[in-house]
Amino acid sequence: MKPATFEYHRAYTPDEVVELLDELGEDAKILAGGQSLAPMMNFRLARPSALIDVNTVVGLDYIRREGDQLCVGAMTRHRTVETSTDADVQDGFALLPRAARWIGHYPIRTRGTVGGSIAHSDPTAEWCILARLYDADVVVQGPEGRRTVPSEGWFTGFLSTSIGPSEMVVETRFSRPRPYGALTEYARRRGDFAIAASAVAFDVVDGRCQDVSIVLGGVATEPLRLPEAEAAVEGSVPEDQTWAEAARIAAAAIKKSSDPQDDDRYRRHLVDTLTRRAFDEALVTGPTS
């Protein structure tokens, strides 16, 4: 199919984007990498009255460290993060380049943007899962200037966020750097949306796990943080028995789906396996490997 008729606009600064959003109304959409929006438009699942192309906006393509936060500009391509060997990324955020390899196929990673993924808010999207894992803040710009939204309050449901109709994502600020982390997922085919995903991050101090985060993707309407499973790992020895208990709690957290096509038992089995695998991988790829 082909998309419905729309107006095309091009912006060169975040201020211009906000002005156009305010002028064109809530049916206008921002076009960044277009890897999610364009297919939805082709199937007419999305029918924006206007597109605002932000590929010409300058100053939003960067990765930089500010203290304990890794700041990623909205127009930073997935591939840029994937190939980053910068010490500021590797020190506490080495999972981000590794996790980027899970995103779709190579052409998607070269065009898609971090900000676009955060704005689209797919619960299986790697950047959305990592935003919750690292307690990220999402910086948006609107008519009243810029504001910061904690990731805990950013996701409000399936493909839904707390962004305003005249606001755009300008930056994602990942926090809580930790030396151990991994993201594992399972899809029917490489590059497909994941049926389930599990991401973990933690530190090991004096032989015990500390500062633990566990997030699941693809099992709820938004990335699912698991404080009970985190508590089971916190202060424990990093070993198979610890991982097994966290995986058990993670699998049990999956609620029964209202969709008769969903196999909840299968998804729980996947989450159990993926969570164990994520912890194992985190240890292997950590600083002591």
Question: Do 195 and 274 touch, CB atoms closer than 8 A?
Answer: no
Q: How far is CA 262 from the centre of its chain?
A: 23
Which SS3 state, helix, strand or coil, does residue 173 take?
A: strand
Question: In whole angstroms, what is the distance from residue 57 CA to residue 24 CA?
Answer: 18
Question: Do 50 and 35 touch, CB atoms closer than 8 A?
Answer: no
pLDDT of residue 260: 58
Question: In whole angstroms, what is the distance from residue 206 CA to residue 109 CA?
Answer: 39
Question: In whole angstroms, what is the distance from residue 217 CA to residue 199 CA?
Answer: 8
Give the CA radius of gyration of the chain.
19
Task: Please give the chain's pLDDT, 289 residues, in tens.
Answer: 689 999 999 999 999 999 999 999 999 999 999 999 999 999 999 999 999 999 999 999 999 999 999 999 999 999 999 999 999 999 999 999 999 999 999 999 999 999 999 999 999 999 999 999 999 999 999 999 999 999 999 999 999 999 999 999 999 999 999 999 999 999 988 888 899 999 999 999 999 999 999 999 999 999 999 999 999 999 999 999 999 999 999 999 998 765 555 678 999 999 999 999 999 999 999 986 5
Domains and CATH numbers, the chain: 7-53 (3.30.43.10), 63-174 (3.30.465.10), 180-285 (3.30.390.50)
Helix (H) or strand (E) holding 231: helix 227-233
Count of CB atoms within 10 A of residue 115's CB? 28
Question: Do 28 and 20 touch, CB atoms closer than 8 A?
Answer: yes
- In the chain, what is the straight-line distance between the N-terminal and C-terminal CA atoms, in Å? 50
Question: In whole angstroms, what is the distance from residue 2 CA to residue 282 CA?
Answer: 44
Question: In whole angstroms, what is the distance from residue 201 CA to residue 205 CA?
Answer: 14
β-pair type (50-53, 155-157): unpaired
247's CB contacts (< 8 A; 6+ apart) are 229, 271, 272, 273, 275, 276
Helix (H) or strand (E) holding 9: strand 7-10
Model pTM score = 0.95
Question: In whole angstroms, what is the distance from residue 227 CA to residue 135 CA?
Answer: 13
